[in-house]
Amino acid sequence: ATAAGGWPAVCGKFRAARTLSAVESLKDPETEPYRSKYSARALLQEVKQLLSAAEEGGEARVLAVRRAVLEYELGVNHTDTEELSAGEEHLQRCTQLLEPHRLSPHCVSLYIQAQNNLGILWSRRDEIETAQTYLESAEALYNQYMKEDGNPPLDPSEHFMAEEEKLTDQERSKRFEKAYTHTLYYLAQAYQHLDMIEKAAQYCHTTLKRQLEYCGYYPVEWARNAATLSQYYLSKECFMEARHCLAAASVIFSQAGQVPSAEDNETEQDQHDLPERKAEIARCWIKYCLNLLQSARKLLEDNIGELDPDRQLELKAQRKNEEDEKEKGRKKAVLFGTSDICDSVLAMEEKVSSVYPLDFQEAREIFLVGQNYVQEAKEFFQVDGYVTDHIEIVQDHSALFKVLAFFEEDYERRCKMHKRRIDMLEPIYADLNPQYYLLICRQLQCELADTYFEMMDLKVAIGNRLEKLDSHTVKKINSLAQFAIKYYELFLDSLRNPDKVFPEKLEEDVLRPAMVAKFHIARLYGKLITSDSKKQLENMQTSLEYYTFLVDYCEKYPDAVPAVETELELSKEMVSLLPASMERLRANLSPCV
Amino acid sequence: DLRDSAISSLNSPSVEGDAIKVFVRVRPPSDGTALTNGDQGLCLSVLSSNTIRLHSKPEPKIFTFDYVANMETTQESVFSSVAKNIVESCMNGYNGTIFAYGQTGSGKTFTMMGPSDSDNFTHSLRGVIPRSFEYLFFLIEREKEKAGSGKSFLCKCSFIEIYNEQIFDLLDSASAGLFLREHIKKGVFVDGAVEQVLSSAAEAYQVLTTGWRNRRVASTSMNRESSRSHAVFTITVESMEKNNEVVNIRSSLLNLVDLAGSERQKDTHTEGLRLKEAGNINRSLSCLGQVITALVDVGNGKQRHVCYRDSKLTFLLRDSLGGNAKTCIIANVHPGSKCFGETLSTLNFAQRAKLIKNKAVVNEDTQGNVS
């Protein structure tokens, strides 16, 4: 019943239009960027004419759907050529035609794709909220269809195909699911633009999951995305989810270069990048271990930063009760992968816990996993070539030791852990050129100073248990304190201008570190042990000077006070007490005269 | 823990010290659009040597910068007010960077290089880069005369182009893509880039000419649009001074950068607000990675690792942006009213750049000891 040439000719024109639009248009010259798109549009218009000529003959619904397909194609064509209003009209007409049948397997896929395109169109007009409503309604339609019908629906292209060309159910399903994946992918972006961070994360997660299920992914990129998503979960302290993302990232990454994929050929560049990508995933794992340990420490520490045994018992009891609950929660979480992949992911997960470690043994297991990833990451990020990355990894390694030390009860062993930190940081610091790495230099100076400070504190505590301080311990304490002072001073020197003058007013970003350095130096001079009273007096005098700096500075610049409240309070106290003690010391010295 | 929070404030990129200096230069409109109608057809007027008024509606907007060069300003005077000081600091051991920023056609290349059809750097219209060479070698000669045999200099240069996140060596047109690497003593460098030793300004012109020609050839034969590429010319100045047994080595970098047209950056900015479409193959759901990175960025100061690196250009010039160098930006604008939008965004960018602060440190390394 169709016009000249019949139905096959109509289908041929339609097919030609699609080829022009998708394939030929890529080769258009820059001076005529839309040449093929315009030709495609002309063909689509022709098909539309032919269809209306045949109006009386066919079944009403079939005709309506065919017309809707054409409106859809025209809508996309117009938006592609930057004619948004015309594009919107066509797309709207498409959805109007389909409205009564939108839940039928003939129309549902087309309807969802039209909604997707309306979403994109409105986002181009910077109206993300409007885009969001279209995309959400596409999402709802998918869910309703899957609930009520669920059979693989027709692909829009099939409405202009001869019977023998029609797609298999498998292919139909694949294309339908892909359209829906795109809905979720656009929603993830829309939510991010609307600052709905949690929802955006959830939709990223679901998009990744669906990419796996429908084999529409490129392993390295997928793994990288999943590993990055784990870092989002870390910031929310969702360790189970973070671990799941990382385990899946590692499993999928291991497929890279193994699974031949017809669609996505890996480029040489991709092959070249493999070791780097692997090391990056390792770095995400390091952060996982570090955060889990640090969060546990926060739960367990008392008001002076030591492990609180009562709290430890309480949490252990609590954990027993929660174990069953956790299992249930796990089943509700969105898991990646189907059967095979899922098993590998679960096996990977078993290698490291996702619950807070509550004692040294548990902490050590997580620490060791983290340390292994440190080695792995360093294999690629070597200091020669990747200075910043390499040092960041070493800093993480040091942080792992630091938090592990919190769980260690034995002071001597704890001290050894801090010594390990010194041993890894000091040589790097010595080589680093502050001309290019000023910020990192300062970070290392502060960290080295703090570590020496910590070691000195531990030696003092060990010494306090002895009946009498032996000379070896005294020497050790003093030398650790001197090292701490040295690194704090190096940091403070880095703030001086080229003429070696210390800044009158400290910049915001270094204010607190600088004040804390001054404060710690004051305390360190107070802790130096000497039997020589004159020397002791000198140390007290130096200590007083540093405390005074803090007090004076805050008086001069009151806006600095909030940054150093505790330190300031203690400094004021010391400034009022120290002169009296010094006076007493002097009095003891003078009778001989 | 008191100490932890002290360190955490050090973990954000440093912003301190001297602010980046920002200069604005207004080019004359091309010959066709004559100035006979007074201010008509122009979207801005220069009020003084550091203020500019943009004729926006309903209220005009006034911007203040370190220096505003009007249409009559000569190449010589742009050089004196912008670059002279940076070349001098470079002799004293500071790193220095000069950027030219602005939309295509706003006069970036004219400002940095000179008239586009001339390789002749004796031309009175030659730009900042050739003039910097002349001045640098003038200062070196003067210094040598002053210090006698005790002081020696070594200058090297490289010239690279960043196009589509790939690095090309403009001094070796046969080379494939190069990579950025870091050295614990030397900072960031382009691995494998040709380094040419320079002993005079004339040699520097030669290198610049060769590189510039390669850039043009590449843009036609390899389909690279030069308006979308950044060109970075780097001179390393090393001085060695012997004082008894102690050897003082100072080294500094001078980066001269011709940035890609700013309108391209605006494109990517507006696109950032839109939803990125999925292409024909699934792999191109690539924007998902950007979304996820943005999610992680809001992480509240927690320890995290983001698997996506900053761009090649910012990595290479990390030091110059809020780092350890003396930096200035020349924002070029076209005064035509057709360019209003672009001009506004360039001025806004320049305004923001003023907020970036740099900390310059003398690069001195004392080797050897009194034995």
Q: How many CB atoms lie within 10 A of CB B217?
A: 13
Which long-range contacts link A271-278 to residues 24+ away (Cβ below 8 Å)?
A273/A220, A274/A220, A275/A379, A275/A380, A276/A380, A277/A220, A277/A223, A277/A224, A277/A253, A277/B307, A278/A253, A278/A376, A278/A380
The answer on pLDDT for B75 being more than 50 is yes
- pLDDT score recorded for residue B363: 61
Q: A178 and chain B: CB distance < 8 Å anywhere?
A: yes
Q: Work out the angle between the directed axes of helices A35-53 and A6-22 (0-180°, nearest 10).
A: 160
Q: A271 and chain B: CB distance < 8 Å anywhere?
A: no
d(CA A89, CA A68): 12
- pLDDT score recorded for residue B317: 83
The verdict on a CB contact (< 8 Å) between A263 and B281 is yes
Quick one: which H or E segment has residue A327?
helix A309-332
Distance to chain B for A567, nearest Cα, Å:
9
Q: A471 and chain B: CB distance < 8 Å anywhere?
A: no
The verdict on a CB contact (< 8 Å) between B187 and A204 is no
The answer on pLDDT for A414 being more than 60 is yes
Which residue of B lies nearest to A383 if distances are taken between CA atoms?
B184
Report H helices in A214-267: 219-235, 239-253
d(CA B133, CA B200): 8
Nearest to B73 by CA among B333, B327, B258, B255: B333
The answer on pLDDT for A351 being more than 60 is yes
Which residue of B lies nearest to A507 if distances are taken between CA atoms?
B16
* 3-class state of residue A581 by DSSP: helix
Which residue of A lies nearest to B272 if distances are taken between CA atoms?
A193
Residue A321 or B112, more confident: B112
The verdict on a CB contact (< 8 Å) between B187 and A436 is yes
- Point out which residues pair with B365 in neighbouring strands: B249
Distance to chain B for A182, nearest Cα, Å:
7
Which residue of B lies nearest to A215 if distances are taken between CA atoms?
B282
The verdict on a CB contact (< 8 Å) between B283 and A263 is yes
Using a CB-CB cut-off of 8 Å, the residues of chain B touching A216 are 282-283, 285
Question: Distance of CA A263 to CAs A182, A205, A216, A217, A266, Å?
Answer: 17, 23, 9, 10, 10
Nearest to A446 by CA among B9, B183, B185, B186: B9
The answer on pLDDT for A262 being more than 60 is no
The verdict on a CB contact (< 8 Å) between A235 and B285 is no
Six-digit token string for A409: 């009860």
Distance to chain A for B89, nearest Cα, Å:
12
* B158-162 mean pLDDT: 93
The answer on pLDDT for A181 being more than 70 is yes
The verdict on a CB contact (< 8 Å) between A200 and B291 is yes
- CB crowding A145-160: b at 16 or more within 10 Å, else e: beeeeeebbbbbbbbb
Distance to chain B for A498, nearest Cα, Å:
6
- 3-state secondary structure string, chain B? CHHHHHHHCCCCCCCCCEECEEEEEECCCCCCCCCCCCCCCECEEECCCCEEEECCCCCCEEEECCEEECCCCCHHHHHHHHHHHHHHHHHCCCEEEEEEECCCCCCHHHHHCCCCCCCCCCCCCCCHHHHHHHHHHHHHHHHHHHHHHHEEEEEEEEEEEEECCEEEECCCCCCCCEEEEEECCCEEEEECCCCEEECCHHHHHHHHHHHHHHHHHHHHHCCCCHHHEEEEEEEEEEEEEEECCEEEEEEEEEEEEECCCHHHHHHHHHHHHCCCCCCCCHHHCCHHHHHHHHHHHCCCCCCCCCCCCCCHHHHHCHHHCCCCEEEEEEEEECCEHHHHHHHHHHHHHHHHHCCCEECCCCCEEEECCCC
Nearest to A64 by CA among A23, A106, A20: A106
Place of tokens 């996702």: A354
Q: A211 and chain B: CB distance < 8 Å anywhere?
A: yes
Cα A478–chain centre separation: 42
Residue A353, φ and ψ in degrees, nearest 5: -75, 160
The verdict on a CB contact (< 8 Å) between B289 and A225 is yes
- pLDDT score recorded for residue A55: 61
Distance to chain A for B67, nearest Cα, Å:
25
Residue A170, φ and ψ in degrees, nearest 5: -65, -45
The verdict on a CB contact (< 8 Å) between A231 and B361 is no
Distance to chain B for A227, nearest Cα, Å:
8
CB A195 within 8 A of CB A207: no
* 3-class state of residue A454 by DSSP: helix
Output DSSP code: residue A560: G
Q: A436 and chain B: CB distance < 8 Å anywhere?
A: yes
Cα B263–chain centre separation: 17
- pLDDT score recorded for residue A17: 94
d(CA B131, CA A215): 58
Which residue of B lies nearest to A278 if distances are taken between CA atoms?
B307
What mean pLDDT value characterizes chain A? 90
pLDDT class of B37 with cuts at 50, 70, 90:
very low
d(CA A297, CA A525): 30
Nearest to A509 among B2, B9, B186 (CB): B9
* A495-503 mean pLDDT: 83
The answer on pLDDT for A151 being more than 60 is yes
The answer on pLDDT for B264 being more than 70 is no
Q: B246 and chain A: CB distance < 8 Å anywhere?
A: no
* A277-304 mean pLDDT: 95
The answer on pLDDT for B267 being more than 80 is no
CB B139 within 8 A of CB B155: no
* B10-39 mean pLDDT: 63
- pLDDT score recorded for residue A492: 95
- Give the pLDDT confidence of A195-240 residue by residue, as tens digits: 999 999 999 999 999 988 887 788 898 999 999 999 999 999 999 9
Output DSSP code: residue A337: S
d(CA A455, CA A480): 7
CB A342 within 8 A of CB A336: yes
Q: B307 and chain A: CB distance < 8 Å anywhere?
A: yes
Q: A385 and chain B: CB distance < 8 Å anywhere?
A: yes
- CB crowding B37-63: b at 16 or more within 10 Å, else e: eeeeebbbebeeeeebebeeeeeeeeb
The answer on pLDDT for B273 being more than 80 is no
Report H helices in A557-593: 565-589
Residue A176 or B14, more confident: A176
- pLDDT score recorded for residue B74: 93
- Give the pLDDT confidence of B197-255 residue by residue, as tens digits: 999 999 998 999 889 888 877 777 766 676 778 899 999 999 988 877 888 888 889 99
The answer on pLDDT for A267 being more than 80 is no
Q: Half-sphere exposure of A51 toward its Cβ, with a 13 Å CA cutoff? A: 23
- Give the pLDDT confidence of A530-563 residue by residue, as tens digits: 888 899 999 999 999 999 999 999 999 999 999 8
- pLDDT score recorded for residue B314: 82
d(CA A12, CA A32): 25
- pLDDT score recorded for residue A95: 95
The verdict on a CB contact (< 8 Å) between A264 and B9 is no
- Give the pLDDT confidence of B284-297 residue by residue, as tens digits: 676 788 888 888 87
- pLDDT score recorded for residue B119: 64
CB pairs under 8 A between A and B: 212
Using a CB-CB cut-off of 8 Å, the residues of chain B touching A436 are 186-188, 319, 323-324
Q: Which of A80, A112, A241, A436 to probe the B interface (max B CBs under 10 A)?
A: A436
Using a CB-CB cut-off of 8 Å, the residues of chain B touching A512 are 5-6, 9
Nearest to B184 among A283, A432, A439 (CB): A432
Percent of chain B with pLDDT over 70: 78
Name which of A471-485, A491-505, B20-34 the model is least confident about: B20-34
Distance to chain B for A4, nearest Cα, Å:
34
CB within 8 Å of A181: residues ≥ 6 apart: A207, A210, A211, A214, A216, B282, B285
Report H helices in A81-126: 84-98, 108-124
- pLDDT score recorded for residue B3: 45
Q: Which of A221, A231, A571 to probe the B interface (max B CBs under 10 A)?
A: A231
Nearest to A188 among B283, B291, B363 (CB): B291
Based on the number of CB atoms within 10 Å of its own CB, is B166 exposed (0-12), middle (13-18) or buried (19 or more)?
Answer: middle
The torsion region of residue B244 among left (phi > 0), alpha (psi -120 to 50) and beta comes to left
d(CA A538, CA B162): 59
The verdict on a CB contact (< 8 Å) between A232 and B278 is no
* B16-33 mean pLDDT: 76
Q: A31 and chain B: CB distance < 8 Å anywhere?
A: no
Distance to chain A for B40, nearest Cα, Å:
32
Distance to chain A for B33, nearest Cα, Å:
25
Output DSSP code: residue A259: S
- pLDDT score recorded for residue A20: 92
Cα A358–chain centre separation: 26
Using a CB-CB cut-off of 8 Å, the residues of chain B touching A509 are 9-10, 12, 14-16
Using a CB-CB cut-off of 8 Å, the residues of chain A touching B275 are 119-120, 123, 131, 186, 189-190, 193
Name which of A521-525, A582-586, B60-64, B219-223 the model is least confident about: B219-223
* B125-146 mean pLDDT: 92
* A329-342 mean pLDDT: 71
* A268-276 mean pLDDT: 81
Distance to chain B for A48, nearest Cα, Å:
25
pLDDT class of A132 with cuts at 50, 70, 90:
very high
CB B16 within 8 A of CB A509: yes
Distance to chain B for A451, nearest Cα, Å:
10
Residue B320 or B181, more confident: B181
Name which of A318-322, A541-545, B115-119 the model is least confident about: B115-119
- pLDDT score recorded for residue A544: 96
- pLDDT score recorded for residue B324: 73
The verdict on a CB contact (< 8 Å) between A234 and B291 is no
Distance to chain A for B140, nearest Cα, Å:
22
Nearest to A436 among B7, B300, B324 (CB): B324
Write out the E strands in A379-418.
none
Amino acid at A558: P
- pLDDT score recorded for residue B120: 65
Which residue of A lies nearest to B95 if distances are taken between CA atoms?
A435
pLDDT class of A265 with cuts at 50, 70, 90:
low
Nearest to B303 among A290, A433, A435 (CB): A290
pLDDT class of B367 with cuts at 50, 70, 90:
very low
